[in-house]
Structure 1
Amino acid sequence: MSDKEITRLEIMQKIKDRRMSQKEAAGQLGISIRQVKRLWKAFQSHGAIGLISQKRGKPSNHQLKPEQLQQALDLIKSRYQGFGPTLAHEKLVEVHRLKISDERVRQLMIAEGLWKPKRARRKRVYQMRERRACRGELVQIDGSDYAWFGNGGPRCTLLVFVDDATGELLQLLFVPHESFFGYCEATRRYIEREGKPLAFYSDKHGIFHLNHPTAVQGDGLTEFGRAMQELEIQILCANTPQAKGRVERANQTLQDRLAKELQLRDIGSLQEGNTFLPEFMADYNRRFAVSPRSSFDAHRPLSPTDDLERILTRQITRILSSSLSFQYNKRIYQIQTRRPGYAMRKAVVTVCEKANGEVLVLYKGHPLPYQVVQRQPHQAEVVTSKSVNQAVRQPTRPAPDHPWRKPFLKGSPSFDTHSDASQPSSS
């Protein structure tokens, strides 16, 4: 007998000896008088055995049948190999309509060797930072480099925007690697759909933070920082990954859930993946997003002066020469204008380069027509530490007009190394 049943037996014995009333027994056991009467009747009929639960040793009414467990196991082995218990349980319930608990799936996968339980680790305690109150008040951004499309697909980076107040995914975008133009494209899509947030929270990647003291020029902003300053969006840089733990944990979840969803749908390219991301974001937010403390949305609409096509470009200033020309990106640009030449000599212009390579030249905010008059020989591009893998995967080739190729161009003189130079030429 259990301790509970032994206690009931002692009280029933007191009732039998008239040392306790049924009302007092109900108060001591924490049950109703009617239940005490049922126990007393069973005790009178069968003695102590009548107080033992009749369900002991019998299978539960909610226990799954062996064929149902086998069906779940077959589905996990055939379709959800490598899935975690929680995600596999969601697929079994939502896709295959099986009534099974996530804990039962976990036990089943452990018994079959499909899942190894994680040993509980002693977590390091960090100072807690409370969530922001409003949606759009702070957005954590980061890039996650991973084999998103499996071992056979291209390795790429997923740009992740997570709202700090709700944990909601605000923007996802597959790009070859973390770059200025990649973040600009993700920011443009996000702002056009939601509006401008108050602040971005990022790491100290060179896109967001000037890490070399000699690189500080002017106001000390990176190109992305300059663009966000024009849009009145503050850039905050975390000193540790734990400080922006919300987006870091989202990256871990996405590397599990999103990669499995791409595998199930047989998606193997960046373009197909970006098409699927809005559907995945809606499902993710439905499962994991929380309600903010305040119902106010801090996103701001774009103002009439916010020209995203101009702001989200790589910009640099140049000074026009006496011939109204300047050099940029190994090319010489000649300004075409109807003004007298002396009127724009030594003028400061802004060169804006778009993601597709198109160049826009601005003078006091107005575009200037130009013509490319000369192109310099191609040189190796300087890349960052996070994009070096992408650069190595795509080896560069010298341009057709590169000086190294000149001896091998059609019509170039040939050199016969086997000719006998000592023989006199016939006259």
Structure 2
Amino acid sequence: MDKTLTMSTKELSRLEVMQRLKDKRLIQKEAATVLGLSIRQIKRLWQKYQKQDAKGLISKRRGKPSNNRIEAGVSQKALDLIKKKYSDFGPTLAHEKLLEIHKVQLSRESVRKMMIAEGLWKPRRAKKSAVHQMRERRACLGELVQIDGSDHAWFEARGERCTLLVFIDDATGKLLELLFVHDETFFAYCEASRQYFERSGKPVAFYSDKHGVFRVNIQQPLGEGRGMGMTQFGRAMHELDIQIICANSPQAKGRVERANQTLQDRLVKELRLRNLSTIEAGNQYLSEFREDFNRRFAVPPRSTHDAHRPLLKTENLDLILTRQDTRLLSKNLTIQFNKIIYQIQSDRPGYALRNAQVTVCENAQGVVTILYKNKSLPYTIFKKLPHQAETVDSKNLNHVIHVPIPPPSDHPWRSYGKPLNGNPIQVVLPHATDSS
């Protein structure tokens, strides 16, 4: 009695080739080419066909569960954790957290399919990106460091909006420095640069955008501080022998731009998981995050040479990373800086320092140092001038304006002059006396 066999399309193709081998219309080498198999595999199929005919070509695994199937308990546990803690995570980051924190063994693709099925992740079609000329990575670590500031709600609704300063190496993609600051200012970049220099050394060049911290954005700059045509940060990097290169477009410094997008996804969620909500707490965690990020995403450079240079003994960061300007001493040895008149105290004769050019250095705390021939001059504050209107750019406007916060509804100030518990306030006045 004939028996009906169920075969797949691939198995039917193999059956047809085996029949042609049997009729000697093909040789094993040609059969291997037709089926895309090795000659060794064709020999195995031929032996099964000779013993069991068409039945020998049917897979023995048909109707049985896969060896790689996911157990229902593991799948349900992963889904419960994703819905409870990682509902807005991407599949890659959710897979990492399931594996590292909860020890749930699942592949990234399984997590992705699970999240798509539950409506937690929507697959996106790749966009047609504009074509930009590719630039090869630099060869050495520290040869070119891309820097940028990313203004974002890093602490979401738990804390204030702030800026993350990002220093990333062009050759390896390593995060060399991360720092939360209130605004993208000169002193903020100085603080991040100091931490970076003291840990890794000085790079050959910084690659940045055309922000006013890095570049004087006028056609004929008159200069700032002692560096003609330079910003304060440019002058400081010039003294440290670090070149600053400004990109013409965001695509030109794409490495740090893409890193900002990754950080706005991963770092925000890591801060949420650790319930960090302040700039101080976030900065304490950034070193741990930086090491983990570099372990996952950094690539080896083409050259093993480290282009970082150590700080020289003559390079005093306490003075170099200050806001500096030059002034001429008056006949009575006074100068004006930031609406304050400073009186120089000196044992020298007064005429010796008249019209002398001095350098005024102001650090982030507002402490002023006056230098003459690289030596500090003692001074006293003679007079503070009245505060006048100042020019502020749009990026620093929120930092300059301090909006007073009204007191809560139960504050004693709100009950001043009102009846207590519904009873009117009784005021006892002293009796008037007849002074006559």
TM-score class, shorter-chain normalisation, is 0.7 to 0.9
- Rounded to whole Å, the distance in 2 between the matches of 1:270 and 1:160 is 15
Query: Which residue is 2:200 aligned to?
Result: 194
Aligned AA (1:331)? I
Query: Which residue is 1:404 aligned to?
Result: none
Query: Which residue is 1:230 aligned to?
Result: 239
Give 2:313's match in structure 1, choosing from 284, 289, 304: 304
Query: Which residue is 1:154 aligned to?
Result: 160
| Identity fraction in percent | 63
- Rounded to whole Å, the distance in 1 between the matches of 2:333 and 2:39 is 102
Query: Which residue is 2:397 aligned to?
Result: 388
Quote the offset at 1:384 in angstroms: 2.4
**Pairing 1:371-382 to 2, within 5 Å after superposition:** 371-382=380-391
Give 2:79's match in structure 1, choosing from 70, 73, 84: 73
- Rounded to whole Å, the distance in 2 between the matches of 1:261 and 1:360 is 42
Residues 23 and 235 from structure 1, CA distance in 2 versus in 1: closer, same or farther, beyond 3 angstroms? Answer: closer
- Rounded to whole Å, the distance in 1 between the matches of 2:375 and 2:229 is 25
Deviations 1:157-200 (A, max 9, x none): 00000000000000000100100000001011101111111100
- Rounded to whole Å, the distance in 1 between the matches of 2:121 and 2:60 is 36
Give 1:246's match in structure 2, choosing from 239, 250, 255: 255
- Rounded to whole Å, the distance in 1 between the matches of 2:59 and 2:360 is 84
**Higher mean displacement: 157-166 or 23-32:** 23-32
Q: Which runs of 5+ in 1 are unaligned?
A: 397-427
- Rounded to whole Å, the distance in 1 between the matches of 2:38 and 2:187 is 71
SS at match of 1:333: strand
SS at match of 1:318: strand
Residues 295 and 39 from structure 1, CA distance in 2 versus in 1: closer, same or farther, beyond 3 angstroms? Answer: same
Give 2:101's match in structure 1, choosing from 95, 119, 143: 95
Query: Which residue is 1:413 aligned to?
Result: none
Deviations 1:269-306 (A, max 9, x none): 11111111111100000000001111111111111211
SS at match of 1:118: coil
**Higher mean displacement: 296-305 or 363-372:** 296-305
Quote the offset at 1:27 in angstroms: 7.0
1:271 is aligned to 2:277:
no
Aligned AA (1:175)? V
Residues 22 and 248 from structure 1, CA distance in 2 versus in 1: closer, same or farther, beyond 3 angstroms? Answer: closer
Aligned AA (1:220)? G
Query: Are 1:210 and 1:216, in contact at CA under 8 Å, matched by a contact in 2?
Result: no
Residues 119 and 21 from structure 1, CA distance in 2 versus in 1: closer, same or farther, beyond 3 angstroms? Answer: closer
- Rounded to whole Å, the distance in 2 between the matches of 1:395 and 1:331 is 28
Aligned AA (2:173)? G
- Rounded to whole Å, the distance in 2 between the matches of 1:306 and 1:236 is 22
- Rounded to whole Å, the distance in 1 between the matches of 2:19 and 2:125 is 48
- Rounded to whole Å, the distance in 2 between the matches of 1:214 and 1:17 is 90
Give 1:339's match in structure 2, choosing from 335, 348, 359: 348
Residues 27 and 326 from structure 1, CA distance in 2 versus in 1: closer, same or farther, beyond 3 angstroms? Answer: closer
Residues 395 and 248 from structure 1, CA distance in 2 versus in 1: closer, same or farther, beyond 3 angstroms? Answer: farther
SS at match of 1:185: helix
SS at match of 1:213: coil
Deviations 1:248-279 (A, max 9, x none): 00000001111111111111111111111111
Query: Which residue is 1:52 aligned to?
Result: 58
Query: Which residue is 2:216 aligned to?
Result: 210
> Structure 1 length normalisation: TM-score?
0.88
Aligned AA (2:22)? K
Deviations 1:78-99 (A, max 9, x none): 1113111110000011111111
Aligned AA (2:234)? G
> Structure 2 length normalisation: TM-score?
0.86
Aligned AA (2:238)? Q
Quote the offset at 1:389 in angstroms: 2.6
Quote the offset at 1:322 in angstroms: 1.1
Aligned AA (2:176)? L
Cα RMSD of the aligned pairs, angstroms, is 2.1
Deviations 1:126-177 (A, max 9, x none): 0111111111000000000011111121110000000000000000001001
Quote the offset at 1:226 in angstroms: 0.3
Quote the offset at 1:44 in angstroms: 4.0
**Pairing 1:248-263 to 2, within 5 Å after superposition:** 248-263=257-272
Query: Are 1:335 and 1:371, in contact at CA under 8 Å, matched by a contact in 2?
Result: yes
Quote the offset at 1:203 in angstroms: 0.3
Q: How many residues align?
A: 396
**Higher mean displacement: 93-102 or 11-20:** 11-20
